[in-house]
Chains A and B, each alone.
Chain A
Amino acid sequence: MEKRVETATAEALAGVRVCDFCGQLAGAGATRWLAAFGAEVIRIEDPVREGRWDILRGVGPYVDERRGIEFGGGFNNHNTQKLGVTINLRTERGKELLTELVRQSDCVTENFAVGVLERWGFGYERLKAIKPDIVYVSNCGFGHTGPYKSFKTWGPIVQAVSGLTFSSGLPDLPPAGWGYSYMDHTGGYYMAMAILLALLHKKRTGEGQWVDLACTEAALTLHGPALLDWTVNGRPGRRQGQPHSNRDLSPPMAPHGIYPCRGDDAWVAIACRDDADWERLSSAIGADWTAGFAAQAARLANQDALDAAVSGWTASQDKFAVQRTLREAGVPCSAVQTPQERIDQDPDTEGRWPTVTHTAMGQVRVDGIPVRMSKTPWRIERGAPCLGEHNEAVFGRLLGLSAQDVAQLREEGAI
């Protein structure tokens, strides 16, 4: 076990200010990372539509019977540690407020459809005129150039068009795809990387830039070896017997699959990387039939029969008993864990689900960050902002407005 490094800590991104129009998960997930490491992320929402451009604002799960824009569980999860202000960009005063915020920010982030921020009067040229070294990061499904730039996407559509849906499934069945927006999470990760890269560049050179992130393109980078098999060898992914994504060709492993266990919808994943893994698994199974699969070539050539035989061994057992037996033997193995099992009963995620305080919802558990940094730990304590929750604080501190000024702006419909 490695020693824990105990030292004084700091916020890695302290002093970075982000004017954040991001919503849903693909955008909000990116600025969530920045906020957890100390950046000041100011989420800007439209008071007229009560911030409902972000469809998660009022959508469940809910902590209790209360409903409405302050009670969306997903919204709270994706917007921890951020500040929230409202600005009505239909008004001149609203445009002035945003201009002042941009002037004092390092970065403007958004994941609108193409052209939306431009139509509000804040395209890149305008942002640059306000703040010459601004980092502007836009994240949309197909990016800001190309024949499909006006096409609209959600996570499942990004996954469909980029090949991710196709490559998840079993043979002779429809695509299984992803049972969640993998590319909203992952698009958010790429957006966070892009922001950090552009901030590093700015810090070293003084130069800002506009980063055009297309979620579909980020997704398409996630199939490297399969794409090279196409461009180098001319072998398509759409071919007989494929996809079969519970198996593995690169490297070839057998057995390699998800097998039934005792109980309702109970499964265990087992992977034998080589003959040594297979010998360990064979010993654990302790049955004569294993002798017929001693060589990897034989296992790979007869995977259907092998999978049926392994299923015969797992089917009568508890999934965690199989996991314990095989991990002790040194074979890669894991129960397919339910949310409850991996969140509340798994020692390896203990302490990784922080509880935040949300002004309306109260105490709520959220996703943590699976990274420990010895000098600059993350912090997730505050829930997502309620609509305009930090108007007084942000407009007061950054723009020097008094409580009366802010009340007046609200009266005028500017915020």
Chain B
Amino acid sequence: MSALAGVRVIELANERIAFAGKLLADMGADVILVEPPGGDPARLYPPFLDDEPGPDRSLWWWHYHTSKRGVVLDLDDAGDRARFKALAATADVLLESEPAGRLAELGLDYDALRQVREDLIFVSMTPFGRGSPNGGAPATDLTLLAGGGPAWSCGYDDHALPPVRGGGNQGFHTGCHFAVMATLTALFHRLSSGEGQFIDVSMHGAQNVTTEAASYSWLVARQTVQRQTGRHAGVRPSQSTQMRCKDGRWVNTGVPPRAPAEFAQILGWLRELGLEDQLPEAIFLEMGAALPKPITYDLIGVDDEATAIFSAGREALALIAENLGAYDFFVGFQRRGIAVGVIYSPEEAFEDEHFRARGFQVVVPHEDLGRAFRYPGAPYKLPASPWRIARRAPRLGEHDREILG
């Protein structure tokens, strides 16, 4: 049985909250997407199937609305508002990200809908939260990540270059993660108490608490982190952790080696690769391998021997990177117990044998096109209540008759 079988969710179509609906729908909730006549604007977001625009061809739409059914209702029309209320009366959860005041004007805010569904869980996720002094300010993924903290920490050592927004809509995703955690928490409470409630999620607030040390360095010690290329922003500068390999691709070298076993492994691999002669510092790797315990950070730059061993480890990584492709660097070090990572593009990760072996790729039929496509799969594996894409995203008004009668 799906974890959310029998849970009905009404989602008022909006690009910001679409991912929250998908997360619930793929776990078995009956999510009904309500769009205005003519469709939600996100139906026209590229990329498109075969690069031909069309309301049922947006791959953005396909991804964010899997497992949902869709209806069209004109909330500016009294008759449709009544139909919407009747639908809300059958719902367990409502997801919305409407402009401030809009639902109250329509008579469809929490106070109105709880009259037809007493135990409704009403989830409002907006850029700054309900009641914010900035409630009316428009926001996008970019402006949320800029104002909420992430952009301050991302970018390059060279601060003449702008801070960077991490790609892929992550500001919206972060808001949706909080909306879903809150919804599941409220569903749990409702199972024991029978009560619904009003949930107000601030997307700006969500970014603010998703910045790791940037926030708590300030909160705890009034220290300010500074962005650095490809690694953690820091209060003090740290050494680079990205290297370019022989094939021109990049790897992340993680935490540099400090343990005796790591130095022994690196030395052994250098020998296998016939590279020991090219590393004058190899002798320090031998000394590192013979250490009684790992080098601690406080010794680096203070104790000459510890510093030389530590530097030799980094030099060895650089030499191996010069001589191997990024994938071989990644797998070779990981098989030797040293945590490094290849910097994959998303599709390279998707095609990697590990994720294939775990069944991450799933095939979704598009019977209307007579085709089927591979989609990204489950974020978590719950064997007793599995994640599943139950159906492709709905075409405009596809389930009007089935749901509205």
Give the contacts of B344-358 with A (CB-CB under 8 A).
Answer: 344-350, 352-355, 357-358
Give A120 Cβ to nearest chain B Cβ, in Å: 20
Give the contacts of A193-243 with B (CB-CB under 8 A).
Answer: 193-194, 196-201, 203-205, 207-214, 216-218, 220-233, 235-238, 243
Report yes or no: B185 in contact with A196, Cβ–Cβ below 8 A: yes
Report yes or no: A227 in contact with B23, Cβ–Cβ below 8 A: no
Give A343 Cβ to nearest chain B Cβ, in Å: 5
B192 / chain A contacts, CB cutoff of 8 Å? 15, 203
A246 / chain B contacts, CB cutoff of 8 Å? 142, 162, 164-165
Interface string of A247-263 (1 = CB under 8 A from B): 01111110011111000
Number of interface residues of B (CB under 8 A): 163
Query: Nearest chain-A residue to B350 (Cβ)?
Result: A227
Q: Interface with B: A43-51, A86-94, A345-353, A398-406, which one?
A: A345-353
Query: Nearest chain-A residue to B2 (Cβ)?
Result: A201
B156 / chain A contacts, CB cutoff of 8 Å? 170, 173, 176
A158 CA / B145 CA spacing, docked (Å):
21
A230 / chain B contacts, CB cutoff of 8 Å? 346-347, 350
Assuming the contacts A237-B345, A250-B45, A256-B142, asked whether A200 and B154 have C-beta atoms less than 8 A apart, the reply is: no
Give A214 Cβ to nearest chain B Cβ, in Å: 7
Query: Nearest chain-B residue to A323 (Cβ)?
Result: B147
Assuming the contacts A180-B211, A339-B149, asked whether A233 and B162 have C-beta atoms less than 8 A apart, the reply is: no
Give the contacts of A387-409 with B (CB-CB under 8 A).
Answer: none
Contact of A201 among B148, B223, B382 (CB under 8 A): B382
Report yes or no: B184 in contact with A348, Cβ–Cβ below 8 A: no
Q: Interface with B: A96-104, A159-167, A286-294, which one?
A: A159-167
Interface string of A1-37 (1 = CB under 8 A from B): 1111100001011010000000001000000010001
**In this assembly, does A372 line the interface, its C-beta being within 8 Å of a C-beta of chain B?**
yes
Query: Nearest chain-A residue to B227 (Cβ)?
Result: A179
A371 CA / B137 CA spacing, docked (Å):
19
Give A48 Cβ to nearest chain B Cβ, in Å: 15
A86 CA / B298 CA spacing, docked (Å):
28
If over half of B's interface residues share one DSSP class (helix, strand or loop), that class is named, otherwise mixed; here it is: mixed
Give the contacts of B134-184 with A (CB-CB under 8 A).
Answer: 134-135, 137-156, 159, 161-170, 173-174, 177-182, 184
Assuming the contacts A260-B162, A372-B199, asked whether A269 and B254 have C-beta atoms less than 8 A apart, the reply is: no
Interface string of B244-288 (1 = CB under 8 A from A): 100000111011000000000000000000000000000000000
Contact of B376 among A146, A147, A179, A220 (CB under 8 A): A220
**In this assembly, does A342 line the interface, its C-beta being within 8 Å of a C-beta of chain B?**
yes
Give the contacts of A291-336 with B (CB-CB under 8 A).
Answer: 327, 330-336
Query: Nearest chain-A residue to B297 (Cβ)?
Result: A59
**In this assembly, does A278 line the interface, its C-beta being within 8 Å of a C-beta of chain B?**
no
**In this assembly, does A186 line the interface, its C-beta being within 8 Å of a C-beta of chain B?**
yes
Report yes or no: A372 in contact with B129, Cβ–Cβ below 8 A: yes
Give A216 Cβ to nearest chain B Cβ, in Å: 8
Between B164, B235, B360, the greatest number of chain A beta carbons within 10 A of the residue's beta carbon is seen for B164
A250 / chain B contacts, CB cutoff of 8 Å? 45-47, 60
Other A-B contacts than A74-B216, A167-B346, 18 sampled, CB-CB below 8 A, are: A74-B213, A153-B341, A174-B244, A175-B343, A184-B212, A200-B187, A205-B384, A221-B377, A222-B169, A227-B350, A231-B373, A233-B50, A250-B46, A267-B151, A332-B142, A352-B208, A370-B204, A375-B189
Give the contacts of A124-171 with B (CB-CB under 8 A).
Answer: 142-143, 145-148, 150-154, 156-170
Contact of A181 among B111, B232, B380 (CB under 8 A): B232
B1 / chain A contacts, CB cutoff of 8 Å? 201, 204-205
**In this assembly, does B318 line the interface, its C-beta being within 8 Å of a C-beta of chain A?**
no
Assuming the contacts A230-B347, A333-B143, A370-B202, asked whether A180 and B250 have C-beta atoms less than 8 A apart, the reply is: no
A-B contact pairs, 17 of them (CB 8 A): A63-B221, A147-B353, A156-B254, A157-B340, A181-B212, A181-B232, A184-B212, A193-B380, A212-B380, A222-B168, A222-B170, A225-B45, A233-B49, A248-B140, A252-B46, A334-B143, A376-B186
**In this assembly, does A374 line the interface, its C-beta being within 8 Å of a C-beta of chain B?**
yes
Report yes or no: B212 in contact with A164, Cβ–Cβ below 8 A: no
Report yes or no: B186 in contact with A12, Cβ–Cβ below 8 A: yes
Query: Nearest chain-B residue to A331 (Cβ)?
Result: B138
Report yes or no: B224 in contact with A267, Cβ–Cβ below 8 A: no
A79 / chain B contacts, CB cutoff of 8 Å? none
A108 / chain B contacts, CB cutoff of 8 Å? none
Query: Nearest chain-B residue to A63 (Cβ)?
Result: B220
A339 CA / B75 CA spacing, docked (Å):
41
A333 CA / B252 CA spacing, docked (Å):
33
